[in-house]
Amino acid sequence: MGVETTKQKILTEALKLFSQNGYEAVSVEQIANAVGIKAPSLYKHYKGKRDIFDHILQRMNEMDLERAKKYEMPEGDLNKIASAYCETPIEKIKTYSISLFLHWTEEEFSGNFRKMLTLEQYRNPEMSQLYQQYLSGGPLQYMAELFGSMTGETNDSIQIALEFYGPIFLLYSAYDGADNKEIIIAALKQHIDRFSQQLDSAMPKESAKNDVEA
């Protein structure tokens, strides 16, 4: 990645401050100081703190699309995605799942976004909704619908989703506090391996085409 422009650095430094102190507690002047510019100069790039926040959301959405394309993950409506996942090699799905975890932990921008939402979810309704959308109820419901469609076990789809996402959700916090983060990554990979084997065996025989490629 090249050197950040001032406009990009404003987003990076603002989000870093939001993740440490909370959105409401951070002023435009503090953001400008962190970037190394004066507040009037910041207004040449953004209308204010809310505009900065909106551009942070825009960047998060762009990163989601870029990552899905990079790992060649299925797109479209849920039925189309579920059908495509059945045709996708299991190793590719496992690699993508690990990349998602690293996205929320090791990548600075998205990692700080997660920390900001975690910090603000109980005192800001909008942040609470975003936390659910990105990290909690949203992913869980999506996985429930996806796994239910893939396996045909619609009655147990929430349970299947919990078995997959519950440990990953816990590992976010474990990662943040771990001195040896490699242990957490190893635990993540082991969990994904075991779940992938269980999911593969639970899928209908005519759809279970996710053999590991040599």
- Looking at residue 208, its pLDDT comes to 41
Model pTM?
0.86
Q: What is the Cα–Cα distance from 115 to 77, expressed in whole angstroms?
A: 30
87-135 pLDDT, tens per residue? 767 788 788 899 999 999 999 999 999 999 999 999 999 999 999 999 9
* Least reliable range by pLDDT among 23-37, 169-183, 191-205: 191-205
Domain-wise residue ranges, the chain: 1-70, 73-214
Is the domain spanning 1-70 CATH 1.10.10.60? The answer is yes
Confidence of residue 210 (pLDDT cuts 50, 70, 90): very low
Q: How confident is the model at residue 207 (pLDDT cuts 50, 70, 90)?
A: very low
Q: Is 79 exposed, middle or buried (0-12, 13-18, 19+ CB in 10 A)?
A: exposed
Beta strands in 89-203 (DSSP E): none
d(CA 116, CA 118): 5
